[in-house]
Amino acid sequence: MTSGKRAVVLGGRSGLLGMALTAALGRAGWTAHPVGRADFDPFDQGRLRDFCREVKADAVFNAVAYTAVDRAEDERDDAFRLNRNLPRLLGLTMRELALPLVHFSTDFVFDGRKDAPYTPDDAPAPESVYGQSKLAGEQTLFESAPPGLLVVRTSWLFGPGKGNFVATILGLARDRDRLTVVADQTGSPSYTPDLAENAVRLLESGASGLFHLASSGKATWCELAAEAVSLAGLPCRVEAITTAEWPTKAKRPRYSVLDLDAFVAATGVTPRPWEQGLRDYIFKDLGLPPGDGDD
């Protein structure tokens, strides 16, 4: 594909999703301009505006967020600064520049009391500071309403380039013969290269509004961990425990599987299952040899 368009990717130099977006845009024929803290402060509205004009941006992706879920309970102001105040500034700036903005949100905007996948039309009810701050970011963006705004809720990210749950599990499994992992929280694992590629597709489709996007399928944390350990062929037993046995400061949704139908309708593309993304992550990105679980 040769789109010839240009995109600014905030968080594109070192963020787990930002790096995947930078790569995906390149594969789709875009010229990506990743921005990190060393380049300029994204809160500097004048510099951001000038940069978008300098590179003749056709779109902006925001992959900057405060994601320390438990720490946010004690650092509410810091969480809201990045997750609400920055989106507000971006929305106003993109409206001024008449540029589409793709902003990423989270499954933590839901309380997890549903037993069927959450659609974009379901009412949010966050039960953590992190979730509250991300919902506030969504709301302020829709208030500023830049043209072509896309707010993309996603979840349970894993992929190359930076630490993540799967990488942590594999590291622990190399040194231990037994791991215990929560098995009563169910969500939508998301392989970041697939997520980024599909986010670019969504932008190119001309859609706007609120979408859910992840890899297809669902899993518990324990199922995701067990599959990763099995694929890597590590002799570590993964055992299920309850949330009550692994208490955390921030409350997690019990069930936060995301319904992807709106994305499929907009793009005509069904995301790959998370299991396929996990295989690519382990065998291609990490370069691990196939284990006994690779049938």
Nearest residue to 207 via CA among 195, 219, 199, 215: 199
Q: Which of 118, 130, 255, 281 is catalytic?
A: 130
Let me know if 278 is exposed, middle or buried by CB neighbors in 10 A (0-12, 13-18, 19+): buried
Region of residue 156 (phi > 0: left; psi between -120 and 50: alpha; otherwise: beta): left
**pLDDT, the chain, mean:** 96
The pLDDT value given to residue 200: 98
Tell me the per-residue pLDDT of 14-40, one tens digit each, with 9 for 90 and over.
999 999 999 999 999 999 999 999 999
Which two structure tokens, joined as six digits, stand for 165? 């749950």
Catalytic status, residue 255? no
> Which backbone phi and psi does 223 adopt, to 5 degrees?
-65, -40
Tell me the per-residue pLDDT of 199-230, one tens digit each, with 9 for 90 and over.
999 999 999 999 999 999 999 999 999 999 99
Report whether 128 contacts 73 (CB < 8 A): yes
CA angle 52, 142, 274 (to 5 degrees): 80
Residue 295 has pLDDT above 80, yes or no: no
pTM: 0.96
Domains of the chain as residue ranges with CATH? 6-162+190-216+256-271 (3.40.50.720)
Residue 3 DSSP one-character state: -
Q: How far apart are CA 49 and CA 97, in angstroms?
A: 8
Q: How far apart are CA 213 and CA 199, in angstroms?
A: 8
Q: Is residue 50 very low, low, confident or very high in pLDDT (cuts 50, 70, 90)?
A: very high
Q: How many CA atoms lie within 13 A of 212 on its CB side?
A: 25
